[in-house]
Amino acid sequence: MSLSGALSSAISGLSAQSQALAMVSDNLANASTTGYKTTTGMFDDLVTGSSSASQYSSGGVTVHGQQNITQQGLLQATTNPTDVGIQGQGFFIVTSAPNGGETSYTRDGAFTRDNQGYLVNQGSYLMGYRTDASGNVVGGNTLEPINTTVAEISAAPTTTTSFQANLPADAAAGATFTTSMPVYDALGAPSTIQVTWTKDNTQPTPLANTWTASFAANAKDASGKDIGTVSGGPYTVTFNTNGSLASVVDPANPSSTAPFSISVSGWTDGAANSNIALNLGTANGTGGLTQYTSGSTTPDISITGINSDGIAFGKLSAVSVGQNGLVNATYSNGQTIPIYKIPIATFDAPDQLSAQSDGLYQATVASGNPSIQASGTNGAGTVFGSELESSATNTNDQFSTMMTAQQAYSASAQVVTAVNKMFDTLISAMR
């Protein structure tokens, strides 16, 4: 009968508005939760299908929650260097355990280093790709929990030394000058190798614009102690009449055009032998070695820079997330290098992910499988370090929704009261 239908519709309204209010309550409760996405109550009418022109059969209402997972929260700067936020689409990939854990996805980037070196957030381990010191992904694009202990120390041998210097054209034949080139062995120990530059003094006619670069027999530490045996050279360096480098020749093998180098063996600290390429400049090019007049009564070498690659020994002192999701390690030797890259997982239907506690989501059939992208590429958002995404809750909107739900709930309650009185009237009439 119509009264029972009215009562049923009113009760469905009370239930639906209660659920809508619960969603509002959750949204407001999480107004300060990092990366939180709101849920909106979506109402649908119920139709019984038995209504006719002379008889109306009420249905009622149902409600379901619509997750607003693609909402963008405001990124706010923090003081934690391992906090990360995403501007745009996508999620961080996390796992529940370092080995064999369950994969989930999150926008909550409040990660910190635990006592084992992992970047974690509420028991979830951030996943990333291992990189080399230039930030290039290595290891076959295999995702793994980011563990900073892979880079607890840094050290690398010198492989190239570049020279930027001017040899004085006005130096007398047979004049000699010395410079030092810094090098590191494979264990990160610093040393120096003395280089002697001698202007040609071939008799009876010295060769114009020609010098010899020879290298001391031993590498020395800061105290002057011999710590390695040097071999290689000497090399003949010839300049053009305009002061630019003409050629570098190994007198022992004049036809060789290979890059010239020296080697160091027998390091006293047990380091592996070193082979150091010498970058003296290119023929007729700019930079490298030149020969111009010094203009001084006592000509000398003018050094712009003698720079060697390689890394002194250093201990890990800090970890931070930099541009494009690179996880950078900073060492006590002042060096900062990338060690991991944080990727972004995107979905065809992100609002269909299954929400879990602690800001986690899991893939579903409706959401589709994740597509793993680099930061800022192929539609994926950009990763920013030292920033966190705020909750997407807008309290003004939620209060407005709450008042609407309260009014609708009160109205449905009034219907229940009215139906009750009508039942009382009906029963009284029957008596």
Of 157-166, 231-240, 349-358, 414-423, give the lowest mean pLDDT range: 414-423
For residues 58-80, average pLDDT: 89
Would the pTM count as exceeding 0.85? no
**Average pLDDT of the chain, as a whole number:** 90
Where do we find the tokens 């694009």? Answer: 141
The mean pLDDT value for 68-87 works out to 94
pLDDT in tens, 183-206: 999 999 999 999 999 999 998 989
pLDDT tens readout for residues 246-297: 999 999 888 877 779 999 999 999 999 999 999 999 887 777 999 999 989 9
Alpha-carbon distance of 64 to 59, in angstroms, equals 17
Q: What is the Cα–Cα distance from 69 to 36, expressed in whole angstroms?
A: 8
Residue 221 has pLDDT above 70, yes or no: yes
The answer on pLDDT for 431 being more than 70 is no
The Cα 277–Cα 263 span in angstroms is: 9
Please give the pLDDT value at position 237.
Answer: 95
Inter-residue contact 279 to 160 (CB < 8 Å): yes
Which pLDDT score is estimated for 51? 58
Residue 1 has pLDDT above 60, yes or no: no
Q: What is the pLDDT of residue 198?
A: 97
Q: CATH 2.60.98 in the chain, residues?
A: 167-305
The pLDDT of residue 49 is 64
Please work out, in degrees rounded to the nearest 5, the angle formed at the alpha carbon of residue 43 by the alpha carbons of 37 and 45: 160
The CATH number that domain 167-305 falls under is: 2.60.98
- Which of 241, 243, 248 is CA-nearest to residue 262? 248
Residue 411: what residue type? A
Q: Residue 194 and residue 157: Cα distance in Å, rounded?
A: 18
pLDDT reading at 374 higher than 90: yes
Kindly list the distances between the CA atom of residue 61 and the CA atoms of 9, 54, 400, in Å, as whole numbers in the listed order.
7, 22, 21
pLDDT of residue 53: 63
Query: What angle, 0 to 180 degrees and rounded to 10, lies between the N-to-C axes of helices 395-430 and 2-29?
Result: 160
Q: What average pLDDT does the segment 126-137 reach?
A: 92
Q: What is the pLDDT of residues 134-171, one digit of tens each?
A: 889 988 889 999 999 888 888 889 999 999 999 999 99
Write down the pLDDT at residue 110: 96
Which pLDDT score is estimated for 423?
Answer: 77
User: What number is the average pLDDT over the span 380-384?
Assistant: 95
Structure confidence at residue 368 (pLDDT): 95
